[in-house]
Amino acid sequence: MNRPVITGIRAHCPSLSNPPAVIVMVGLPARGKTYIAKKLCRYLNWMGISTKVFNVGEYRRQTVGPSNKHDFFRSDNQEAQGIRLQCALKAMEDMEQWLKGDGEVGVFDATNTTRERREWILQYCTERCFKVFFIESMCSEPDVIQCNIKEVKLSSPDYTGADEDDAIRDFMLRIQHYEENYEPIDEERDKHLSFIKIMNVNSKFLVNKITGHLQSRVVYYLMNIHIMPRTIYLTRHGESELNIIGRIGGNGNLSEGGKRYGEALAEYLKEQNISDFKVWTSRLKRTIQSAAKIDAPIEQWKALDEIDAGVCDSMTYEEIQEKFPEEFALRDQDKFHYRYPMGESYEDLVARLEPVIMELERQRNVLVICHQGVMRCLLAYFMDKKAEELPYLKCPLHTVIKLKPIAYGCLVETVPLDIPAVDTHRPKPEVTEVGRESGDALATVPPYLDEKPISEEETVSADGDSSVFMETPPGSPE
């Protein structure tokens, strides 16, 4: 049999940080610098920009151990000053080596509160052709500072086993030592620098001399994030008629089980008694139908539509293997970058979802009813998953995932709603070479019910695969 050969294209995103870039954090302790550094690192990595945080506090603890009392941070403690400078230099050297390898953006996370220190950093980076951008976080609201100390600093290795009141007193004295020599970035004196000043938890911004796409993107992101308590609910649509027969994508209606899930989802949300709540769906029927019973404002996002499977849309995996075996193998080899002929890759999908992430960062409580590929991308952002992990994250049907962003990560709770549904998760097969046997190609295809014909209106675009994890990324205080 002569099979048509349509070559899938490997998606490619150009580097946004050429030459390598260094982002320098600035500010007193307990001003959220490490929170910003880690969140920004997670965002840039999700967007495909290789980014790493170099936290000088971690280098200090590796050098002299934890439990450094406030006297260690006095400006007249010459021995400690020398140790801290060596730690900063070691972090800078490690960042240099990383950027000379595969790294694109290094985040230098330290207080950097003196003009002398910032000038040293600028000179070091300029001599090595690294582009420098400063982020200064300032806060004068005592309640916010106290909250940051209690929620983050008391869990630092510096205060392991310490009495809470003693730890707070010691840390407040540490802040005083830094305040004695703090020289904020000055709008006039430092006008030659590229920087953003974030004041009182995003209440006010000062942006200066932004150059290039990366810096613009960083500024846009920082101006959208907030730290207010909130919960993001993610779920796939209810089981569809196409899920039952093993067809990927399309624009099918809900199955009977899917309709029951829509009712159960509405009841679950009612029990949660969520204030200031809204629902987002894609523009495909199965997500809209899943939200029909929910008593909340509903917005439809085209950006939330499932990944476009191109010429493979509405096919079963068996049909894809029969008609396009080479494409099926190429996708298994590199599922994140592989682009369906006349369709999308997961890398394309991440780029499409960036506005969704930006808006999620601005919101309070949101339920996103989406699709398997889309949900994988959103979970990968919040859970800091690598590109090679993203296409295989398990996202079962009829399951709600609650995400609660915290200081250095995200708490995840998985809530199955006990409505039976088919399994749509296809793990990566062991054999991925072009020319493999059909049995090897289809070895991990999940079982589904018997085939039935579909109408033309049930074809649009997507992908299919699913499970879940509970994980909290470890925090590492500044």
Active-site residue list: 109, 139, 237, 306
The owner of tokens 């002569």 is 2
Closest to 57 (Cα-Cα) out of 393, 370, 478: 478
Structure tokens of 25?
């954090």
* DSSP per-residue string spanning 358-382: HHHHH-SEEEEEE-HHHHHHHHHHH
Closest to 32 (Cα-Cα) out of 406, 453, 467: 406
Report the distance separating Cα 466 and Cα 464, nearest Å: 8
The amino acid present at 389, given as its one-letter code, is E
* Strands 399-406, 232-236: pairing kind: antiparallel
Are the CB atoms for 255 and 448 separated by under 8 Å? no
Classify 384 in phi/psi space as left (phi over 0), alpha (psi -120 to 50) or beta: left
Burial 228-262, CB ≥16 within 10 A → b, else e: eebbbbbbbbbbbbbbbbbbbbbbbebbebbbbbb
The owner of tokens 């890759």 is 345
Give the residue ranges of DSSP H helices in 273-396: 285-290, 317-323, 325-333, 346-362, 372-383
Structure tokens of 302?
């085209």
Write the CB contacts of 421 (distance below 8 Å, at least 6 apart in sequence): 238, 239, 243, 257, 258, 261, 396, 397, 398
Cα 125 to Cα 193, 211, 217, distances in angstroms:
13, 16, 21
Q: Which residues pair with 409 in a beta bridge?
A: 406
Report the distance separating Cα 283 and Cα 214, nearest Å: 31
Report the distance separating Cα 131 and Cα 17, nearest Å: 9
